[in-house]
Amino acid sequence: MNAPHQDVDAQLATLDDQQIETLWRQALARPDHDELEPLARQLVLRALPAIEGACRMRGERAGMSEPDIAAAAREASVKLMLRLLHHTGWRSLAGLASQLAGEVIADPRRRRSTSDGLFTPARPTLRLLPGAADGPTPGENGAQA
């Protein structure tokens, strides 16, 4: 059995972009925003190609890895959803999606070399303690003589 939101998404998927945007703007103007989330979700789904394309193009130029580009696209999608739940001040959905993708990629806190993952922990720097290369001496740390 389908969840109720899947039925709403299926109905909205049959509408063209202009109809979705008109319904979204009307829902945002109402005091109760019950219809807003499914409409915003539909707009984000329709903007995914623009987000992924912008992240890929800019991420490759920045030397980002595939997982980092995918993570940046996910983050840009979330930012777009949050923006659509609160703001009407945009003219082009694809333009807004591309702008948000560019902001995520260009964030200086995310810049790393190509060998470092942007969303993964850094590799630890290991070094030997003086005298550790020779191993334990007899009688030290349980070593047999």
62 is a domain residue: yes
Residue 53 lies in a domain: yes
* pLDDT tens readout for residues 87-131: 777 788 888 999 999 999 988 776 554 444 556 666 677 777 777
Domain that holds residue 72: 9-112
The verdict on residue 3 lying in a domain is no
Does 135 map to a domain?
Answer: no
The answer to the question of residue 91 being in a domain is yes
Could you report the per-residue pLDDT of 37-72, keeping only the tens digit for each? 888 899 999 999 999 999 999 999 988 889 989 999
- What is the Rg, in whole angstroms, of the alpha carbon atoms belonging to the chain? 25
In a domain, 122, yes or no: no
Note the pTM of the prediction, 2 decimals: 0.68
Amino acid at 19: Q
**Using one digit for the tens of pLDDT, what is the confidence trace for 3-48?**
666 777 788 788 888 888 888 888 888 877 778 888 889 999 999 9
Burial letters for 66-98: b for 16+ Cβ neighbours within 10 Å, e otherwise?
eebbbbbbebbbebbeebbeeeeeeeebeebbb
The domain total for the chain is 1
Measured distance between the N- and C-terminal CA atoms of the chain, rounded to whole angstroms: 71
Residue 58 lies in a domain: yes
Residue 93 lies in a domain: yes
SS3 content of the chain, % helix, strand, coil (to 5): 60, 0, 40
